[in-house]
Structure 1
């Protein structure tokens, strides 16, 4: 008897042909580029308006070319998603981080113990502030912001650290709500 693959989500997952054209085209473009459809696209597709808003927010924060590097952005996601117990984001964004940082170890280090990860001083400031935002955002002071500025971060970069942390707090909770399963492909990428 064949084994059923684990569900992508505990909520409905629509068929590609049943999706609005813009969403279907977006998913097909991702599939063409990566060779598979990341489960986040399938898990969120059953609510098209929220799908569009989610990916517009994601792309606005994660696809920027100025300020934080793409690897630094992914470091924030992996470190904060680990604190939020989000298996999907740790695995999926860990794969992206390994590719962007050209480092097969960094994602595992950040997800396990970011304080011992092999980070530059700048990266340590970024990740440390992101982790403060996860657990103690109400404790952020003017002195904390000044320390980041003194460390060479711009106000736009500081904003992005907070915004990425906040966005992925929502994403992590949606992934946990849906029991979103990481694609098997992510585990082996850039190892």
Structure 2
């Protein structure tokens, strides 16, 4: 398999150098996944604009979706990054593991969102009717649905970038999810 090195600042376009500088200022480093987008002169900016766009979902709700989708897509990079971000948004280690499995017994509304995100991802958009009904019964709106689908797409892009390139994970690595077998 081809090896993908993480691009360094001196190896990217001027536009991407500016984005690297902004990321360095905001985060203290340029995450390897973002640096990998910089192989393209346009993908990093396009992705960050999409990922940081306004949404009807709260930061906490976004992490619910990010964790469920990244688990379905088996992306250790995104699971590791969003475990760290989930903790910054107030989730415990146990809650994060549960969200990754597509549920949230600690919050009915977040449970409906986690189930929906998992279901959309597993079924490639052919959402089960009962999962969708539960989502709306918990108070979510059509706007929330569309924003959730957009976020599923956003996270799937990064999942695929990492799954294809296998660049090193530069966050504390997420622990494996041990699924119960019947």
One fold, TM greater than 0.5?
Answer: yes
Name whichever of 171-180 and 18-27 sits farther off. Answer: 18-27
Displacement of 1:144 in angstroms is 4.8
Partner of 1:18: 11
Distance 1:187 1:137 in 2: 27
Distance 1:32 1:105 in 2: 31
> SS of 1:131's equivalent?
helix
Partner of 2:45: 52
Partner of 1:172: 159
Distance 2:125 2:9 in 1: 42
Partner of 1:30: 23
Name whichever of 69-78 and 13-22 sits farther off. Answer: 13-22
Displacement of 1:94 in angstroms is 1.3
The answer (yes or no) to whether the contact 1:84–1:169 under 8 Å persists in 2 is: yes
TM-score, L = length of structure 1: 0.78
Report how many aligned residue pairs link the two structures: 173
Per-residue CA deviation, residues 155-191 of structure 1 (Å, 9 max, x unaligned), is 111111111112222221111000022104x459xxx
The answer (yes or no) to whether the contact 2:115–2:131 under 8 Å persists in 1 is: no
Over aligned residue pairs, what C-alpha RMSD do you find? 2.4
When you count helix as a share of all residues, which structure comes out higher?
Answer: 1
Displacement of 1:32 in angstroms is 2.2
> SS of 1:101's equivalent?
coil
Distance 1:102 1:33 in 2: 22
Distance 1:53 1:17 in 2: 20
Partner of 2:85: 96
Per-residue CA deviation, residues 46-73 of structure 1 (Å, 9 max, x unaligned), is 112222222222122xxx3x52110110
Distance 2:88 2:102 in 1: 18
* Matches for 1:121-160 after TM superposition, within 5 Å: 121-140=108-127, 144-160=131-147
Name whichever of 88-97 and 44-53 sits farther off. Answer: 44-53
The answer (yes or no) to whether the contact 2:16–2:38 under 8 Å persists in 1 is: yes
Displacement of 1:41 in angstroms is 1.7
Distance 1:97 1:70 in 2: 9
The answer (yes or no) to whether the contact 2:62–2:151 under 8 Å persists in 1 is: yes
The answer (yes or no) to whether the contact 1:71–1:97 under 8 Å persists in 2 is: yes
